[in-house]
Amino acid sequence: MNELKRIDLLRALCAEFGPSGCEGNVADFIEGQLRGVCETRRDRMGNVIAHLPGEGPRVMLSAHMDEVGMMITDIDDKGYLRFANVGSIDARVLCGRAVTVGNEQNQISGVIGAKAIHLQSADERKKATAVSAMYIDIGASSREEAEKYVDLGDFAAFASEFVEFGEDGQRLRGKAIDDRWGCAVAIETLRALAGKPLAVDLYAVFSVHEEMGKSGARVAAYAIRPDAAIVLEATAIADLPDTAAAAKVGEMGKGGLLSFVDKGTVYDAGLIDFALETARRADIPVQLKRYSAGTNDSAQINRAADGARAMALSAPTRYIHSGSCVADARDFDAICALLQAMLTEWKD
Amino acid sequence: MNLKQRIIDLSSTMTVSGYESRAHAALREQLGGIFDEITTDAVGSVICTRRCGRAGAPKILIDAHIDEIGMMVTEILDGGFLRVLNLGGIDTRIMPAAEVCIYGEETIYGVVASTPPHLQKADEAKTLKPITELLIDTGYSRDKLEQIVSLGTPVGFVPRYTELLGGKITGKGFDNKSCAAIAAEAIASVERGALAGDVTLLLAVQEETTMLGGTTGAAGIDPDYALVTDVTFGETPDTKKGDAFPLGGGVVISLSAVTDRRLTARTVELAKEKGIGYSRSVEPTGTGTDANATQLTNCGIPTVVVSLPLRYMHTYHEMLSLDDAEALRALIAAFICDSRIAEDFAR
């Protein structure tokens, strides 16, 4: 496997098909990218655990491999597939969208149907279509034809090209940036620190099932028993012109976001101070997350076994849980720089 | 040229209703080899003629509208966001997180903003924002954006095409550039000498908004008779019988009070004769196509409507069957070569 770097690495990670419960392809890709960098293993849940030994406290990086998606619940007589969401997806970003349907072995293209506007009643035009009324069209004309390619319990994910756009091409659009971004940051960090003296005994967990309730990171933390954990995420920033100023979380291109608190975790104040101090000393941009919303693997790692201190360093991201997550390439560099500086200079 | 490639190439062009002239050069380039003459009229329709080589031959019109649904910029906001207005009937259900092309001084990419579930208010997910309240994220600063985009700049969907099972393809702009491409291929696929008259393919503007191009184009060409080809609704689980037609069953021929029933009957016979699959669509109140205008143009032009069934019309993943496309090509080819129809409908 070619070693891919930075945005090329993120693009390739986002392209992998990996809804929660179907992360094997992402795991294979990550292990391939880490070959020769450090030791990796796959635990019984499907988490990838990488280890870069060092002298010092045990620190666990955590990024989840899974993406929000769908699961096929029925195949009808005419070959249309009914589905339910896997993870939290707004039905309004599903209707009429392109999807990939399948499993770790085989995938096929499809489209979520959207009845023509001409045939909708006035009422239908005003209301979002419920997921229970949607179906995936793979072009099959019968159940028999569809069943050659798709089985009940198979998965679906957004089919979405990775695009670099905007001023100087710094904005990145794609599916699954939540949280292949964190995976890419962890891979680049392991590569940057391999072979160098480390102030920590470093583990990186590429976890499964985050979008379903965080079970992957919990069992990995149980096995590793970290002293501290840094969760690498993509977080919604609500910085649109029609969002109330008080609800804005942060800005694009101004560095990673450090959380104080969200719906699952009150983050460790000492770790936040250390991150801020490191950023100031090394002149690395960083932002404080100004609003409490959502949750991530921290809540699970925080309370696994006898507990671990937790910090989250997240990418400011727009439109997450859609086929068009948007992040900023400058934040990728800022987050990698801050994380690597912290792990090099770790103070307990 | 391969029919699928012809359909995709033509559908990829930007022909947002009212802005079709921006595609004139691309249309000439793509279709130039097929026709003896390509001209444009005062409103921007493209008139492509292939002559049969006989003096005094009847004039046959094939009308396919070339415009597509789209948007235009109405406001440029701080942070590089745009607001837009729709041109034609856009389904707002497909807008959040959609990809768009903004056709300014240069063509730039944008994403329609959506609110992630974590940040929504209760019940917000059940509602749809009107198109005028949506935001398009360009990733530019406002200053830089204002150098590229101005009010009135057209916005369209990003062309992306995928082949599915059973020879079906999805993408944007199939309404109605698939029919335009198929008609061009039909005209290209027959020997000049086999034509029953001089054939003009009218790529009409503004069908989605004003029906302007179909009206003025037919008046200028003044044909002896006409075939209008446009997409119709493809059958899906959420359509009612009679509203929509199966993909893979061939073309759809309209039985309407406002088209010519004799010419329609002859077209049905032709399909039968040639073994071309067809369904019949009963449309007593009108056809929802340029034919509404064509039939009443000048001293009256006998008109038949032949359609291609299309699923998910007016989305960026419209879906058609290449088998149906081939059926439509074959029927148009037979229609323009049919000397009995030419004899009966020549003025």
| Minimal-distance CA residue of chain B relative to A115 | B312
Same domain, B281 and B256: yes
Share of chain B above pLDDT 70, in %: 100
Please name each of the domains of chain A with its CATH number.
6-67+175-344 (3.40.630.10), 69-158 (2.40.30.40)
Question: pLDDT at residue A41 above 90?
Answer: yes
pLDDT band with cut points at 50, 70 and 90 for residue A245: confident
B324, pLDDT greater than 90: yes
- The answer to whether A98 faces chain B, any CB pair under 8 Å, is yes
**Cα–Cα dist A69/A17, whole Å:** 10
pLDDT band for position B173 (cuts 50, 70, 90): very high
Distance from CA of B230 to the nearest CA of A (A): 15
pLDDT at B169: 98
**Mean pLDDT of the B255-270 span:** 96
Domain check: are B185 and B94 in the same one?
A: no
Mean pLDDT of chain A: 93
- The pLDDT of residue A307 is 83
Q: Does A191 touch chain B (CB under 8 A)?
A: no
Residue B125 with chain A: CB contacts under 8 Å? 90-92, 128
Residues B256, B204, single domain; the answer is yes
What local confidence, expressed as pLDDT, does residue A105 receive? 97
| pLDDT > 90? residue B1 | no
pLDDT of residue A214: 63
CATH assignment of the domain containing B109: 2.40.30.40
Look at residues B95, B124, B157 and tell me which one is the last residue of a structural domain.
B157
Q: Answer whether A233's CB lies under 8 Å from A182's CB.
A: yes
Of the partner residues A114, A173, A238, the one whose CB lies closest to the CB of residue B94: A114
Provide the CA B149 distance to its chain's centre, in angstroms: 26
Quick: pLDDT tens for A266-295.
899 999 999 999 999 999 999 998 777 778
Q: Do A88 and B117 touch (CB under 8 A)?
A: yes
Give percent of chain A with pLDDT exceeding 70.
Answer: 99
Chain B residues closer than 8 Å to A127 by CB: 126-128
Do B27 and B95 belong to one domain? no
CB < 8 Å to A145, chain B: 165-166
Taking the CA of residue B256 and the nearest CA in chain A, the distance in Å comes to 18
Residues B206 and B238 placed together within one structural domain of the fold: yes
Would residue A104 show up in a list of annotated catalytic residues for this protein? no
- Tell me if B163 is assigned to some domain: no
pLDDT average, residue stretch A122-126: 86
Tokens in use for B325? 């496309």
Query: Once rounded to an integer, what is the mean pLDDT over residues A7-14?
Result: 98
A142 shares contact with chain B (CB less than 8 Å): no
Whole-number Å distance between alpha carbons of B207 and B213: 7
Question: Which pLDDT score, from 0 to 100, does residue B313 have?
Answer: 96
Report CA Rg, chain B: 21
Question: For residue B64, which of B210, B303, B215, B228 has the smallest C-alpha distance?
Answer: B228
CA angle B199, B38, B227 (to 5 degrees): 30
- Listed residues B109, B130, B157: the one ending a domain: B157
Residues A193/A343, Cβ–Cβ less than 8 Å = yes
Residue type present at position A195: G
Closest C-alpha to B65, from B101, B107, B11: B11
Distance from CA of A201 to the nearest CA of B (A): 34
Phi first, then psi, for residue A228 (nearest 5°) are -145, 155
CB distance A51 to A200 below 8 Å = no
**B162: in domain:** no
Per the CB < 8 Å rule, is A76 touching B237? yes
Does B252 reside within a domain? yes
Residue B124 confidence (pLDDT): 79
What is the predicted pLDDT for the residue at A301? Answer: 87
CA separation for the pair B173, B317 (Å, rounded): 9
Mean pLDDT of the B201-228 span: 96
Q: Is residue B64 part of a domain?
A: yes
Is there a single domain that holds both residue B131 and residue B201? no
Mean pLDDT of B329-335: 98
Structure tokens at A92: 């309004």
Domain count, chain B: 2
- C-alpha angle B155-B319-B86 in degrees, rounded to nearest 5: 25
Fill in the amino acid letter for A107: Q
**B297 and B320 part of one domain:** yes
What was the pLDDT predicted at B214? 95
pLDDT band at A263 (very low <50, low <70, confident <90, very high): confident
Closest CA to A286 of A335, A327, A333: A335
Q: Which helix (H) or strand (E) holds B137?
A: strand B136-137
**For B95-118, what is each residue's pLDDT tens digit?**
999 999 999 999 999 999 988 777
A226: pLDDT strictly greater than 80: yes
* Whether residue B75 is found in the same domain as residue B182: no
Residue-wise pLDDT tens digits, B41-96: 999 999 999 999 999 999 999 999 999 999 999 999 999 999 999 999 998 899 99
B201 and B270 in a common domain: yes
Residues B261 and B303 in one domain: yes
| Domain end marker among B157, B187, B222 | B157
State the best of B95, B289, B317 to mutate against chain A, taking most chain A CBs within 10 Å: B317
Regarding whether B97 and B39 lie in a shared domain, the answer is: no
Closest residue in B to A82 (Cα–Cα): B237
The CATH number that applies at residue B306 is 3.40.630.10
Which residues of chain B does A97 touch, with a Cβ-Cβ cutoff of 8 Å?
94, 97, 317
Is B267 among the domain residues? yes
What does the pLDDT look like over A152-176, one tens digit per residue? Answer: 999 999 999 999 999 999 999 999 9
| pLDDT band for position A213 (cuts 50, 70, 90) | confident
* B106: number of Cβ within 10 Å: 9
B116 contact residues in A (CB cutoff 8 A): 90, 236, 319-322
Confidence of residue A249 (pLDDT cuts 50, 70, 90): confident
**A119 in contact with B at a CB cutoff of 8 Å?**
yes
Q: Which residue of B has its CA nearest to A172?
A: B139
* Structure confidence at residue A125 (pLDDT): 86
Residue B233 structural domain: 3-68+172-345
Residue count of chain A = 348
Q: At CA A211, angle to CA A210 and CA A216, rounded to 5?
A: 20
Determine, yes or no, domain membership for B177.
Answer: yes
For residue B214, the distance in angstroms to the closest alpha carbon of chain A comes to 20
Please determine, for residue B25, whether its predicted confidence score (pLDDT) is greater than 70: yes
Task: Tell whether B107 and B254 lie within a shared domain.
Answer: no
Distance in angstroms (rounded) separating the CA atoms of residues A230 and A233: 10
The beta-carbon neighbor of B237 closest among A80, A93, A120 is A80
3-state secondary structure of B320: strand
In a domain, B137, yes or no: yes
B165: in domain: no
- Exactly one of A67, A188, A210, A233 is catalytic; which is it? A210
Asked whether the predicted pLDDT for residue B127 surpasses 90, the reply is no
Contact assessment for residue A295 and residue A263, using Cβ atoms and an 8 Å cutoff: yes
